[in-house]
Amino acid sequence: MRVFKLVKSNESLSILVESIGRTIGNLGTFSVLLVLIIYIFTLLGMQSFAGMMMIADDDSVDLNK
């Protein structure tokens, strides 16, 4: 409770805490958008390059061109 009282009494600290709160909210939106874009490009890459590389039993890699 003393922390809230300190923030409330100090105007510059109040502005700082308010700014941090808004930034965290925007960061959540950005993170969701970033994950969605990564997921879309992952699906695109899997669709484009599916079946182009084969791994043999002796762990050698064969690229089907």
Q: Is the pTM above the cut of 0.75? A: no
**Torsion sign over Cα 39, 44, 45, 51:** positive
Q: Which amino acid is at 26?
A: N
Number of domains into which the chain is organized: 1
* Structural domain of 46: 2-63
Q: Residue 53: in which H helix or E strand, if any?
A: strand 53-55
What angle (nearest 5°) sits at the alpha carbon of residue 29, between those of residues 25 and 30?
Answer: 110
pLDDT by residue for the chain (65 residues), tens digit each?
A: 677 777 778 888 888 888 998 899 889 889 999 999 999 999 999 888 877 766 666 767 666 65
- Separation between Cα atoms, residue 27 and residue 30, nearest integer Å: 5
